[in-house]
Structure 1
Amino acid sequence: MQEFINQLDGMAVLDKEGYYTYVSPGWERYTGFHASEVLGRKVWEIIPESHATEVFQTGKAVTRGLVSFNGIPAFTTYFPRFDQNGELCGIMLYIVIQGKESVAQFQTRIIALSSQIEFYRKELSMERGAKYNLDNIIGESKAILDLKHKILQASRSSSTVLIEGETGSGKELIAHAIHTLSPRCSANFVRVNCSAIPNELMESEFFGYAAGAFTGASRKGKIGRFELADSGTLFLDEINLLPMTMQPKFLRVLQEHEIDPVGSLKSQFVDVRVIAASNIELEQLVEKGSFRSDLYYRLNVIRISAPPLRTRKEDIPLLVQNFISRLNKQLGMMIGDIGSEALNFLMAYDWPGNVRELQNAVESAMNQTDHTILTIKDFSQLTERIRMRERKQAVTHYKLIPAKQAFEKSLIQDALMACEGNRKKAAELLGISRTMLYNKMAQYEIGDS
């Protein structure tokens, strides 16, 4: 940016009231005013002919000729500046001198510099940023459209975000998309799974440590994940597994924007946006006492729920087509489509593993098929998994209440029949009290007959 500014003949920045907040050295040379003379003063006091008024009124950029200083003609372009809420918050203006030829040369230079900036921004994003964007969230259901709207809203803010949803429902995709759309998109997107770091290493991993902080520590010290994400986004997956001992330290970062590296005597400021994800509702953990309520409230500023696949089955055809297309490239295959019978089978399943399970099923089928169109036979692993789950559920169902109740009802009916309806004798035969017999008869709706 400094290189860009230095190549301008002159540049200045105005706030929403028209006061100068910055002028470049080129602007000082052209106008003859020193920064100390103009900063904090309105543009019309220095240059009465300024066209800043037009920009404040219309909110659109304008390019106009400017009265010359010291006989040097110039053109000035005024760019409106908008805040995160879309409100006009000021103007950036740059000056091009030496007439129209310089304007054309300057425009060419701007295009070249803009291309370079965009190239390096993309390179940075690929190297250390998020991998996915809003387009990677596949679906046209109302649940997905609502989700994308919430992502767009969250991307305009720097507040913490809590993403809750079942395993495999796409919580990480949501975090990537928020970062990609945010003003922090060219800064680091640091992903950390809280369950993957041993408790004894967690403090040094997140906050880093000073040189020689402990035996075996690097002589140069170590940068922690919070510092690595400075000016960017830190994504904390499975935040529900964060140990109680670490929760106060995380709370301090969110409140004070400061970290304390292990072994350091100084706190360090960090500008980090935190996005946390949990496959368990944190509110439940707060009620159980395994998660601090104050940390929960700090995380739960913007809350987004990832919808489970069973609530948006109309998205399954689009998801399947997307997986086939992507996996064809990854696996070197030429699968063209999925048969209607197989697709209906997938639509009828409830997908407890959500989108991740669906992708696994499609990839497995693609590796089993000998044809270019997937059939229901290609999903044999999924059908077998469903049968196993159903058998387990049937066994569990049989072992529990229904079998016991059916047996009790039959036994009571047989005892009453043997005692010709005499309840006292039937209770004695069954070895229970008459009161219990009456209760059981009422429960199972057994009459006198």
Structure 2
Amino acid sequence: MGQISLKDAKEFISGLNSFAILDEDARYTYVSENWCCMMHCTEEQVLRRRVEEMVPDTLAHQVYETGQPVLGHPVVVNDVTLFTNYVPRFSTDKKVIGCFLYTIVHGTREARQLESQLKALSEKVEYYQKRLSREHGAKYSLENIIGESPEILHLKNQIRQAATSSSTVLIEGETGTGKELIAHSIHTLSTRATSEFVRVNCSAIPEDLMESEFFGYTSGAFTGALKDGKKGRFLVANHGSIFLDEVNLLPVTMQPKFLRVLQEHEVTPVGSADSVPIDIRVIAATNKSLLDLVEKGEFRMDLYFRLNVIRIQAPALRTHKQDIPLLVGNMINKLNLEMGTFVQGIEPAALEYLMRYDWPGNIRELQNYVEVAMNNATSPILTQKDFIHSESIKNMVNRYASAPKNTYDLRLLRAEFEKNVIQEVLEKTHGNKQQAAKLLGISRTVLYEKLKEQGVD
């Protein structure tokens, strides 16, 4: 290997914007002519002085502590931003005995030009991070959770606290309470916000396809497999978060495999003998008590404990009815944009009418009725008449209002309401259960369960 001559070394150093050498005590032992010009001083004024005396913001001490170089550190000297590189000098026994310093700008104009380029690059990175987050990340944040009631404020505090952790979250709550919104908000506030947020409805994947969907598969793993194999949902979510909605409907055969993912932090694709390590945050949601399912033998107790590390209860709308005016106002604004309507508000009598109802379908049901009312409206202000479009809600409001307090059984009334609404929707869809489930905002599996519970054919 050829060697560099002293002449070549001096020529290289003089060609740099500036160059200096520190000894083991971080004192200057050499400074180039360009360095002196940049610092507005002479060589004699600098040699043997400690580096922080000349440049208070220096990171040279970090190089001495870690033995690792520091590149492109911005330091302001005489109103000029210098991007400085620090490179450690080592002895034969690998101890740091000094430091080389050199800058990559020369003069105010060049410094400002580089700053401008870095700023533009930073803005591009931020733009693409936001775009990637919109396409592959969470769509909602804490701002999308509307309400000022104690229940909602408590919920928001729980979300903020959960976002600071990497532990598994279990969100429990009735259908329509916004469990997915909570999951989105946790991811958005976490350190994983710029990484993938994978959403999976456990009831929407057939049991025979579930393993390949979640764990992926290798080439030729089974008949019909893609030539190059396929990444499973867990691997897609690597370094990000995965949201398991309706986890209560996870088949018993899959529960041990999910438990292993949570315990071992690795997945084994179908057709492979090798496990792949993953780093994911699991957020699960259920509209039924998992503990009740454990007691019935329908859900593994060990998986329940692995999921139930941080527990969040999504409040039912009937527990914070004072938020209905805010919710309705927000829904009107949102739906105006989506539907191209120009509804300006809602009359007090209509709000009072809505407040008398207990909303067993929660916020999702409320939004459905607001949307229908906006389609029925003949004036810019929604009236009570616009909301009386369904015999179900009309009859239930009347029953709630007239029921004697000693016979008022909310659970029975809610069950009867659900049965009436399901029958009404099935009539409108002529018995098409897939369309009915879509209109009701639930999965087809949940619809079948409710039909079975209610004895509806």
* TM-score after normalising by structure 1: 0.68
Work out which of the residue numbers 231, 241, 255 in structure 2 matches 1:247: 255
Q: Equivalent residues in 2 for 1:52-71 (5 A)? A: 64=75
Work out which of the residue numbers 319, 334, 340 in structure 2 matches 1:311: 319
Work out which of the residue numbers 226, 232, 248 in structure 1 matches 2:234: 226
Residues 182 and 314 of structure 1, relative CA distance in 2, 3 Å threshold: same
Secondary structure of the equivalent of 1:147?
helix
Q: Equivalent residues in 2 for 1:120-131 (5 A)? A: 120-131=128-139
Distance 1:272 1:32 in 2: 46
Distance 1:202 1:253 in 2: 14
Q: Equivalent residues in 2 for 1:125-274 (5 A)? A: 125-274=133-282
TM-superposed CA distance for 1:180, in Å, is 1.5
Gaps of 5+ in 2: 1-15, 30-49, 63-72, 87-101, 409-457
Asked if the contact 1:96–1:106 (Cα under 8 Å) also holds between the matched residues in 2, the reply is no
TM-superposed CA distance for 1:77, in Å, is 11
Count of residue pairs brought into register by the alignment? 341
Q: Which residue of 2 aligns with 1:353?
A: 361
Asked if the contact 2:171–2:311 (Cα under 8 Å) also holds between the matched residues in 1, the reply is yes
Asked if the contact 1:66–1:76 (Cα under 8 Å) also holds between the matched residues in 2, the reply is no
Residue by residue, what CA displacement relative to the aligned partner does 1:102-146 show, whole Å, maximum 9, x if unpaired? 432232122211110111011101211111111111111111112
Distance 2:190 2:224 in 1: 39
2:344 counterpart of 1:340: no
Identity %, equivalent residues: 57
Asked if the contact 1:321–1:337 (Cα under 8 Å) also holds between the matched residues in 2, the reply is yes
Residue by residue, what CA displacement relative to the aligned partner does 1:278-328 show, whole Å, maximum 9, x if unpaired? 111212222222211221121112111111111111111111011111111
Distance 2:308 2:117 in 1: 46
Distance 1:200 1:299 in 2: 23
Asked if the contact 1:124–1:186 (Cα under 8 Å) also holds between the matched residues in 2, the reply is yes
2:129 counterpart of 1:112: no
Secondary structure of the equivalent of 1:381?
coil
Q: Which residue of 2 aligns with 1:285?
A: 293
Distance 1:390 1:115 in 2: 57
Residues 95 and 167 of structure 1, relative CA distance in 2, 3 Å threshold: farther
Distance 1:241 1:42 in 2: 66
Distance 2:247 2:262 in 1: 14
Asked if the contact 2:17–2:103 (Cα under 8 Å) also holds between the matched residues in 1, the reply is no
2:395 counterpart of 1:376: no
Residues 347 and 110 of structure 1, relative CA distance in 2, 3 Å threshold: same
Distance 2:381 2:249 in 1: 42
Residues 110 and 43 of structure 1, relative CA distance in 2, 3 Å threshold: farther
Work out which of the residue numbers 321, 325, 332 in structure 2 matches 1:324: 332
Distance 2:28 2:267 in 1: 45
Asked if the contact 2:374–2:382 (Cα under 8 Å) also holds between the matched residues in 1, the reply is yes
TM-superposed CA distance for 1:157, in Å, is 2.0
Distance 1:45 1:169 in 2: 66
Distance 1:298 1:100 in 2: 58
Distance 1:116 1:273 in 2: 28
TM-superposed CA distance for 1:386, in Å, is 4.1
Secondary structure of the equivalent of 2:231?
coil
The alignment yields a C-alpha RMSD, in angstroms, of 3.7
Secondary structure of the equivalent of 1:183?
coil
Residues 120 and 338 of structure 1, relative CA distance in 2, 3 Å threshold: same
Distance 1:311 1:122 in 2: 36
Distance 1:45 1:355 in 2: 69
145-154 or 103-112: which moved more?
103-112
Gaps of 5+ in 1: 1-27, 57-61, 68-72, 79-93, 399-449
The structure number with the bigger radius of gyration is 1
Q: Which residue of 2 aligns with 1:426?
A: none
Residues 375 and 108 of structure 1, relative CA distance in 2, 3 Å threshold: same
Code of the aligned partner of 2:339: L
Work out which of the residue numbers 289, 295, 303 in structure 2 matches 1:295: 303
Distance 1:264 1:104 in 2: 54
TM-superposed CA distance for 1:101, in Å, is 3.4
Asked if the contact 1:164–1:280 (Cα under 8 Å) also holds between the matched residues in 2, the reply is yes
TM-superposed CA distance for 1:344, in Å, is 0.6
* TM-score after normalising by structure 2: 0.67
Asked if the contact 1:159–1:302 (Cα under 8 Å) also holds between the matched residues in 2, the reply is yes
Code of the aligned partner of 1:268: V
Distance 2:374 2:187 in 1: 33
Secondary structure of the equivalent of 2:371?
helix
Asked if the contact 1:65–1:76 (Cα under 8 Å) also holds between the matched residues in 2, the reply is no
TM-superposed CA distance for 1:389, in Å, is 8.3
Distance 2:255 2:384 in 1: 48
Asked if the contact 2:216–2:231 (Cα under 8 Å) also holds between the matched residues in 1, the reply is yes
Code of the aligned partner of 2:111: V
280-289 or 241-250: which moved more?
280-289
Distance 2:60 2:160 in 1: 31
TM-superposed CA distance for 1:44, in Å, is 9.9
Distance 1:220 1:137 in 2: 41
Residues 278 and 391 of structure 1, relative CA distance in 2, 3 Å threshold: same
Asked if the contact 1:210–1:264 (Cα under 8 Å) also holds between the matched residues in 2, the reply is yes
Residues 299 and 148 of structure 1, relative CA distance in 2, 3 Å threshold: same
Code of the aligned partner of 1:164: E
